[in-house]
Structure 1
Amino acid sequence: MIITNSLDEVKKREKALSIIKNIVESKGRDSLFDLTGLSGGFIASPSELSLLETYVGPAIFEEDLQKVGRQHMGGEKILPLNRTSSGILATILALVEKDSNVVHYLAELPAHPSIPRSCKLVGANYFETDVFEDFSIPDNTSLVVITGSTMDHKVIDEEEFRKVIDLAHENNIPVMVDDASGARLRTVVFNQQRACDLGADIAITSTDKLMPGPRGGLMAGRGELIDKIKVKVNQFGLEAQPPLVLAMLNGIKNFNEENLINSFSRKDELFKLLNEKFDYFETTPTGVMISPENLAKEISVPHNLSNNDLAFVLSFILLNDYGIITIPAVSMPGASATIRFDLSTNDAFNLNLNDLCKKIESSINKLQDVAINEDKCREIVF
């Protein structure tokens, strides 16, 4: 195996970032194609940048963020954070007691690792399921968690969404929704209601997912719970700093629903092209993907790599050879190793889908050639 622990994942990410830097410096930004769906952005005018002081920035921009944030997310109050994971941690620190239960329903396992890790930090018992009939709320449960859209963009059924919320509230238990990409994917593409409008007490989204905002977290929900969570946020330095607040504000203002809708139609064209060459690609709401397990089925040569290793190597071939950025190359430890080609990003609009298909085919063929040589694969990743 190539990737065996979290440190390995950190090291491969450092390598990927160095490759990206070299491509930008030697060929220019136009030679990179970020298809992660997490490309985000930082939209700001010179006059706004001049106000990014420690105390002036929040005074100027946080009130406006409250307004646009409520329009985007619903809820009574908005809380900006430095990461979605930070908001999840702060919520569990604020609402979950040691030895109590946290139960989680999502469309497909596994959950984002920040949720069970946060439960472990406070000494809570954690249970997750993607089978609705198996979901239950035991005694001494302090928090119910719902994921609106998984790391691989599997979207929850709205009727099941409502039923889980209703069941929690019948037991007087608050509901937190991890709506990292779902705050836009569910509402725009699947016409679902915002999490807070469905009755969630807390919802959090990632402001770089499927929108032109920064890597940060935006929480919405009931005012008294937001205030309670905000105490923990400030105690542990999890709050969004002024530059993030400004970029979140402008990211939401510049969010274009048409981009998601257009990617929804283009993904079928790309899938059709890939389906002529391969057997195991799948569609996502905004593109195509291949899981590590399915990628392994496409590789016919004998090898000693894990399924995730194959995905990591392929992601580095795509990056090295064609400047295509996918999540496994740049992800944080514990993230899904599924390779997604998201067509909602700005870079995707400039790609010819026939050309993209040829590059993906060439990269998988190269993976086929090198998979038998573990040392060569390790060299590619590290």
Structure 2
Amino acid sequence: MSITLDEVKRREKGLRIINSKVRNDGIDSLIDLTGLAGGFDVTPEDISLLETYAGPAVFEDRIQELGVAHMGGQKVLPLNRTTSGIAATIITLVKPGTKIVHYLAKEPGHPSIPRTASLVGADYVEYTNLDDFKIDDNTSLVVITGTTMDLEVISEDDFRQVIDMAKEKDIVVFVDDASGARIRRAVYNQPTAIDMGADLSVTSTDKLMEGPRGGLMAGSSELIDRIKLTVNQYGLEAQPPLVVGMIKGLEKYSPERIKEAFKQKDELYQKLVDENLNPLTTPTGFMFKEDEIKREVEKRGVKTDIDADVIATVYSMLLIDNYNIVTIPAVGMPGASKTVRIDWSAKDADKLSMDDMVRAIVDVFDKTVSVIKENNIEAVLYE
């Protein structure tokens, strides 16, 4: 997935809208339904320890205790991003001229995986069908994505089968479990990736939990120590403010909110269908893929050759501007999915009713049509 300067500039516009709303109405005016709200629920005592040496010394035991309980394994490694863990793992374990094979529910995988494969001179291939999946003799790493960017989950049987195939060839299995460490377990009652036999697993500490944007990797002490050396060499480690935020997020995490959203998603879905919309359900809410957003706009009387990802970003930007509802296309990092996804397990979902949510969704489709008819896209996305 390529990243363009336009995406960077669109994100800057989305953040400017948020900045204006926070300045005028306060942080509580925002309704962040991305599932990535994160958090730094730190105390004055924690803040006093945010020093280069004191912080790591004090926080290490607690992050190990909580991290291993959450993810399994013998040891965890806090990182400044999940992407950092992916890059460090590939740099550490993958030799030039070898291959990385990746199994996931639906393409594409996280772009950091093929990018780092290219960086180290390795081949890279993705599989979404077990009948096609194969591990060549020159494969150096098997990657599994437990839950895709759009929250599509692979089955436990498929998970275990890929691990077994890798183990037959004595190849390390690395799991990108960014949101899966919670979705897979809370909704589908799957074990941790490590408990299913994976060697390494990394999760995002802001996805479906109230932690900061960071990464947490789990595995055997031997592998974690090898990767930690690479992490330190490249400056990818989590600094004390991130680590204490992770600790607070792990302490507060409960699967109950995710389970409740899973129960409610069908009611929310039906309300949208009753408005003649065509969403897809997710484990904790609903989503409109970018192509569906474009189809819905055209169904409302405007034919356009504008790319679907641009229309989806316009829609997301209008949700923020008109209803304070934050979704990924307008504010996500460049390269992120342009699917408009509503996570009903997000804590900000308490700020509006289902009916309020549906009214906003419908109205913003109408507003998106008006923007296209008036040829006002540039102003919405950049000005």
Contact 1:83-1:215 within 8 A present in 2 as well: yes
Contact 1:165-1:199 within 8 A present in 2 as well: yes
- Note the C-alpha offset of 1:5: 4.6
| 2:156 matches 1:151 | no
Deviations 1:70-129 (A, max 9, x none): 000000110000000000000000000111100000011110111111111111100001
TM-score by length of 2: 0.97
- Note the C-alpha offset of 1:222: 1.4
1:381 partner amino acid: L
For 1:310, the equivalent position in structure 2 comes to: 311
Alpha-carbon distance in structure 1 between the residues aligned to 2:246 and 2:286: 27
| 2:97 matches 1:99 | yes
For 1:29, the equivalent position in structure 2 comes to: 27
Contact 1:213-1:247 within 8 A present in 2 as well: yes
Alpha-carbon distance in structure 1 between the residues aligned to 2:243 and 2:287: 32
| 2:281 matches 1:283 | yes
For 1:243, the equivalent position in structure 2 comes to: 241
1:316-355 counterparts in 2 under 5 A? 316-355=317-356
Q: Secondary structure at the match of 2:97?
A: coil
- Note the C-alpha offset of 1:30: 2.3
Contact 1:278-1:298 within 8 A present in 2 as well: no
Alpha-carbon distance in structure 1 between the residues aligned to 2:289 and 2:314: 13
Gapped regions of structure 1 (runs ≥ 5): none
Alignment match of 1:80 (pick from 43, 60, 78) = 78
| 2:359 matches 1:358 | yes
| 2:174 matches 1:173 | no
- The aligned length equals 378
Deviations 1:131-154 (A, max 9, x none): 111110012100000000000000
Per mean C-alpha deviation after superposition, the further-off stretch among 230-239 and 343-352 is 343-352
1:1-382 counterparts in 2 under 5 A? 5-300=3-298, 301-374=302-375, 376-382=376-382
Alpha-carbon distance in structure 1 between the residues aligned to 2:355 and 2:101: 44
Alpha-carbon distance in structure 2 between the residues aligned to 1:279 and 1:324: 19
TM-score by length of 1: 0.97
Alpha-carbon distance in structure 1 between the residues aligned to 2:104 and 2:276: 29
Q: Secondary structure at the match of 1:8?
A: helix
Contact 2:3-2:335 within 8 A present in 1 as well: no
Gapped regions of structure 2 (runs ≥ 5): none
Alpha-carbon distance in structure 2 between the residues aligned to 1:278 and 1:333: 31
Contact 1:303-1:372 within 8 A present in 2 as well: no
Q: Tell me which stretches of 4 or more aligned residues in structure 1 moved more than 6 Å.
A: none
Q: Secondary structure at the match of 2:131?
A: helix
- Note the C-alpha offset of 1:130: 0.8
Over the matched positions of the two proteins, sequence identity in percent amounts to 52
Structure-2 change in CA distance of 1:362 and 1:279 (3 Å): closer
Alpha-carbon distance in structure 1 between the residues aligned to 2:341 and 2:332: 12
Contact 2:11-2:334 within 8 A present in 1 as well: no
Deviations 1:251-282 (A, max 9, x none): 00100211101111222221111111234201
Q: State the superposition RMSD in angstroms.
A: 1.0
Q: Secondary structure at the match of 1:132?
A: coil
- Note the C-alpha offset of 1:373: 4.4
Alpha-carbon distance in structure 1 between the residues aligned to 2:136 and 2:291: 34
Alpha-carbon distance in structure 2 between the residues aligned to 1:278 and 1:23: 31
Alpha-carbon distance in structure 2 between the residues aligned to 1:320 and 1:307: 20
Alpha-carbon distance in structure 1 between the residues aligned to 2:369 and 2:17: 22
